[in-house]
Amino acid sequence: MEGPESKITHHPVMVAEVLEYLKVQPDGDYLDATLGGGGHAEAILQILAKGRGRLLAVDRDPQAIEQARKRLAVFGERVAVGEGNMAELARLWEASGRRPVAGILADLGVSSLQLEEASRGFSFSLEGPLDMRMGAEGATAEEIVNRTPEQDLANLIFKLGEERHSRRIARAIMKARPIRTTTELAQVVTRAIPSRAGLHHHHPATRTFLALRLAVNQELESLESFLPQAMSVLAPGGRLAVLTFHSLEDRVVKRAFQQFDREGQATILTRHVIRPSEAEVRSNPRARSAKLRAVEKQGN
């Protein structure tokens, strides 16, 4: 019998824009480095089904892989799905024995499958264990919250969450330890932040949860490792498209693309960042913070 999580629907962001900037061709080989719910992969495969193109899709989340395999099963051998971190892109592609690719996509957002399953611990609005791991490895958010010294915890929340009340939050966490659940942590953070802090409709715990998620999964480190590897895997004229959802990610991508451009490795296709349409944001509010950047690898 299927559980509640099987009914969760993931809505991929800016699908038309991703296909446009990847310039998907029916006979090309492509790579989805963050498969997630499989929405972008499905859209790419619908084009590849018209030719001889193939897609390699990877993700570090075993549950996401299981769901996506079911969604993409109709495409048969045209798609290969595997478990792996985007930071290992070059090794994963080399192991697949494939030729250089025409396009690579990385969607850095947390999927609905993760956010809406309480047991994963990503959401401050659903009571669950403080886990936040996308895979099975590494320290959990609970371990970081309960074991990190106060000053280090404040620095983490400030740096990764860009939370200006990080010291107050870290002090409150220290007093409340041990903290075991998502809602318990959310309450501690909310009480620590002044009521007139100008949150602009965000939940008071948003930035703290973001910081912990980034730390648990080492997301920025993985992104910094992924970007140059993606360039090495791309064929000349191939394209790399990256969807980000907060300023730290976008800054890493923007600077890397500028460096590729300066060094003559790639041409920036998105001189101005691409954002979702108003219509898409209305139908899928989680798309609101999305930004798309793309480059094309130089060479003949």
- Residue 90's pLDDT is 87
Domain made up of 4-113+219-297: CATH architecture:
3-Layer(aba) Sandwich (3.40)
Q: Please tell me the CATH superfamily of domain 126-217, with its number.
A: Putative methyltransferase TM0872, insert domain (1.10.150.170)
The residues that bridge with 244 in the sheet, in sequence order, are: 291
CA distance 257 to 272: 12
- Residue 7's pLDDT is 47
CA distance 57 to 218: 20
Give tens-digit pLDDT for 58-73.
Answer: 999 998 899 899 999 9
Give tens-digit pLDDT for 221-231.
Answer: 999 999 999 99
CA distance 246 to 231: 23
Region class of 295: left (phi > 0), else alpha (psi between -120 and 50), else beta: beta
Give tens-digit pLDDT for 159-175.
Answer: 999 999 999 999 999 99
pLDDT bucket at 10, cuts 50 / 70 / 90: low
- Residue 144's pLDDT is 97
pLDDT bucket at 4, cuts 50 / 70 / 90: very low
Name the least confident of 31-35, 148-152, 226-230, 284-288.
284-288
Segments in the chain forming alpha helices (H): 15-22, 39-48, 62-72, 89-96, 112-115, 141-147, 150-161, 166-176, 182-192, 206-217, 219-233, 247-262, 278-283
Q: Which two tokens stand for residue 32?
A: 């989805």
- Residue 1's pLDDT is 30
- Residue 74's pLDDT is 96
Q: Give the CA angle between residues 13, 245, 10 to the nearest 5°.
A: 35
Name the least confident of 7-11, 34-38, 54-58, 181-185.
7-11
- Residue 137's pLDDT is 80
- Residue 210's pLDDT is 95
Residue with the larger pLDDT of the pair 266 and 11: 266
Q: Residue 250: how many CA atoms within 13 Å on its side-chain side? A: 15
Q: What are the sequence ranges of the domains in the chain? A: 4-113+219-297, 126-217
Strand, helix or coil for residue 55: strand
- Residue 141's pLDDT is 97
In angstroms and rounded to an integer, the radius of gyration of the C-alpha atoms of the chain is 20
Give tens-digit pLDDT for 234-252.
Answer: 999 999 999 999 999 999 9
- Residue 198's pLDDT is 55
Q: Which two tokens stand for residue 196?
A: 């007139």
